[in-house]
A and B are shown apart, each in its own frame.
Chain A
Amino acid sequence: MAAIEIQGLSKRFGEVAAVDDLSFTAREGAVTGFLGPNGAGKSTTLRMLLGLVRPSQGSATIGGKPYAAMAEPFRRVGAVLEADAFHPGRRARDHLRVLATAAGLPLARVDAVLREVDLADVGHRRVKGFSLGMRQRLGLASALLGEPEVLILDEPANGLDPEGVHWLRQFVRAFADRGGTVLVSSHVLAEVAQTVDDVVIIANGGLVTQSSLAELANRSRSGVRVRTPQAEALRGALLAQGISAQLVASDALVALESAAEAVGLVAAGIGAVIFEMTPEHFNLEEMFLELTTSEGASR
């Protein structure tokens, strides 16, 4: 059974559809990257999954149950949704004590999670003196209090220095390797590419693609960059031949076709002048950009 299941989920804020009929799943024991540009609906989706925002339509369950319907959800699911969800005047350890008390968890857990996120030495300090990286860790500590099997992180790498990002990657990887399920959102594929097993890519509130990271990498194609004063006309001719192409400048386009000959023949067919033709290979990040801009926009 999928650990996390999103089914036909929609959220409208007035006229704006923040999330639009979104469906995907996240496997147990795997790290799933939840990717999309800013404003794609990632945070809204995660908040619906956690019962903080009411869906307009559809359902979101963890282990077959909506979050709010669980008796002690913090024992199954831990979540960090914002880097700064603390009273600035409260000491870090006290913040965790408050949450542990509300959850009825033993205070020993407080010290255990502080050690787990490397904050044991600064637990007595007030949060207002914490760097963004320390706040992210404290948020993670809060999520770990109930020893959950599922971890949901919204843009956890935001504001982290390279050392912090490295630490987070190892932490998430180790969590999944112990059998845990992780759903981690990001607007930068490169940030999570080293950590995730699967990817769910969304744009404009809807699913663009869901696959394993390896499968996505295999799909990456090569293409041909063409510089021509008739870029727009050439794009139309290419599309007519079933070759997708994108304008990248007023006098340049990229044809998603690895054979330069095919592109050259189409150009000759419409008498287009060609100044330059260069083979191109897309890396994962470019794939991501292409998926979230072109396909996402034309959904």
Chain B
Amino acid sequence: MKNLIHAELLKLRTTRAFWAYIAFALAFVPVSIALTMTVSNDGLLLDSSEGITAVFSAASAGGLLLLLLGITMMAGEFRHNTATPTFLITPDRRRVIAAKLAAGSVVGVLATAVSSLLTLAIALPWLAARDIDVSLLSTDVGAPILGGLIGTGLMTAFGIGLGAVMPNQTLAITVVVVWSTTVEALLINVVPEVGRWLPMGAASALSGTWSAEEGLLPFWSAGLVLTGYTLALAAAGTNLVTRREIT
């Protein structure tokens, strides 16, 4: 299994597409901080618990890209026919998917950790320049960072499961982008009692993009819901890929 996880990480490191996904995910951090600090400043009092949390939710700003990366890790094997050599080396496809989930979780958590450090490096001096006092140990900062490491860290594994269920990469990416930016965003805003049980609603609750006061689930419940979705997708995806004819 160790060999397979190493191989999955090597697959990622040896394509430029992977580094582009990570770079884009990190590029969302300064954009998100700048938006919160300037444009959306009107309604949101920065010097408040919600304001600080909103600034530090930038740590999860690249979550969608980490999800798309996960999709390419699985669906890309079918797109480029590499599923054939992959499954010839390892005929037990469950082990391949397990290795992908492990590698994807490592990458997701590491990328979110880097993203968190970047958020701190940009937001702390910026807030200090505005004379806003921030305690690193407060929940206003700790919750979005920890929530990011859990929720956004899970995104790549979530994407792998999704890519296994929807092996058509282009379709899967389109569905996810449309779903998360319109359908679910609308549901969370308009019918939060439904939206908060959905994956992006749970991820938003963890990352502090939206808060529980706005109708989302409390922190730990959101973590459980998102983990549940990831495990369910992984199980369904493993089942489908195992039965799939590789032609």
Interface residues of A (CB under 8 A from B): 43-44, 47, 50-54, 67-68, 70, 73-74, 79, 81-82, 84-91, 94-95, 97-99, 101-104, 142
B40 contacts A by Cβ under 8 Å: no
CB atoms of B88 and A101 under 8 A apart: no
CA–CA, A89 to B14, complex, Å?
8
Q: Which residues of B contact A53 (CB under 8 A)?
A: 245-247
B81 contacts A by Cβ under 8 Å: yes
A67 and B89 in contact, given A85-B81, A89-B16 (Cβ under 8 angstroms): no
CA–CA, A86 to B83, complex, Å?
9
CA–CA, A144 to B145, complex, Å?
47
Q: Name B4's closest neighbour in chain A (CB-CB).
A: A102
How far in angstroms is the closest Cβ of chain A from B71? Answer: 15
**How many B residues are at the interface, by size bracket?**
20 to 34
B192 contacts A by Cβ under 8 Å: no
CA–CA, A87 to B85, complex, Å?
11
Number of A-B contacts (CB under 8 A): 79
Beta-carbon contacts of B1-34 to A below 8 Å, as 1s and 0s? Answer: 0011011001100111100000000000000000
CB atoms of A98 and B245 under 8 A apart: no
B82 contacts A by Cβ under 8 Å: yes
A52 and B87 in contact, given A85-B81, A87-B80, A103-B3 (Cβ under 8 angstroms): yes
Contact of A99 among B76, B80, B89, B243 (CB under 8 A): B89
Q: Which residues of B contact A74 (CB under 8 A)?
A: 88-89
Q: Which residues of B contact A101 (CB under 8 A)?
A: 3, 6-7, 10
How far in angstroms is the closest Cβ of chain B from A235? Answer: 40
How far in angstroms is the closest Cβ of chain B from A45? Answer: 12
Beta-carbon contacts of B69-86 to A below 8 Å, as 1s and 0s? Answer: 000000010001110111
A52 and B17 in contact, given A74-B88, A102-B86 (Cβ under 8 angstroms): no
CB atoms of A52 and B81 under 8 A apart: no
How far in angstroms is the closest Cβ of chain A from B187? Answer: 36
Q: Name A93's closest neighbour in chain B (CB-CB).
A: B14
CB atoms of B91 and A97 under 8 A apart: no
Beta-carbon contacts of B84-106 to A below 8 Å, as 1s and 0s? Answer: 11111111100000000000000
CB atoms of B3 and A102 under 8 A apart: yes
Closest 9 CB pairs of A and B: A102-B7, A94-B14, A52-B246, A68-B91, A85-B81, A101-B7, A104-B3, A53-B245, A89-B15
CA–CA, A86 to B245, complex, Å?
19
How far in angstroms is the closest Cβ of chain A from B247? Answer: 6
CA–CA, A142 to B89, complex, Å?
10
Chain B interface SS verdict (over half): helix
Contact of A88 among B10, B80, B84 (CB under 8 A): B80
How far in angstroms is the closest Cβ of chain A from B79? Answer: 9
CB atoms of B10 and A50 under 8 A apart: no
Q: Which residues of A contact B88 (CB under 8 A)?
A: 50, 52, 73-74, 79
Q: Name B80's closest neighbour in chain A (CB-CB).
A: A87
Q: Which residues of B contact A43 (CB under 8 A)?
A: 247
Q: Name A51's closest neighbour in chain B (CB-CB).
A: B91
CA–CA, A50 to B6, complex, Å?
24
CB atoms of A82 and B81 under 8 A apart: yes
A84 and B81 in contact, given A47-B246, A102-B3, A102-B4 (Cβ under 8 angstroms): yes
CA–CA, A95 to B92, complex, Å?
20
CB atoms of B82 and A52 under 8 A apart: no
A94 and B10 in contact, given A85-B82, A87-B82, A104-B3 (Cβ under 8 angstroms): yes
How far in angstroms is the closest Cβ of chain B from A144? Answer: 12
Q: Name A70's closest neighbour in chain B (CB-CB).
A: B91
CB atoms of A85 and B84 under 8 A apart: yes
CA–CA, A97 to B90, complex, Å?
15
How far in angstroms is the closest Cβ of chain B from A41? Answer: 12
Q: Name B99's closest neighbour in chain A (CB-CB).
A: A102
Contact of A97 among B3, B14, B16, B92 (CB under 8 A): B14
Q: Which residues of A contact B7 (CB under 8 A)?
A: 98-99, 101-102
CB atoms of B91 and A98 under 8 A apart: no
Q: Which residues of B contact A84 (CB under 8 A)?
A: 81
Q: Which residues of A contact B76 (CB under 8 A)?
A: 87
How far in angstroms is the closest Cβ of chain A from B225? Answer: 34
CA–CA, A132 to B6, complex, Å?
29
Q: Which residues of A contact B84 (CB under 8 A)?
A: 52, 81-82, 85
Q: Which residues of B contact A142 (CB under 8 A)?
A: 85
CB atoms of A85 and B14 under 8 A apart: no
CB atoms of B89 and A103 under 8 A apart: yes
Contact of B82 among A86, A94, A97 (CB under 8 A): A86
How far in angstroms is the closest Cβ of chain A from B239? Answer: 14
Q: Which residues of B contact A103 (CB under 8 A)?
A: 3, 89
Q: Which residues of B contact A70 (CB under 8 A)?
A: 91
Q: Which residues of A contact B87 (CB under 8 A)?
A: 51-52
Q: Which residues of A contact B10 (CB under 8 A)?
A: 94, 97-98, 101
Q: Which residues of A contact B15 (CB under 8 A)?
A: 87, 89-90
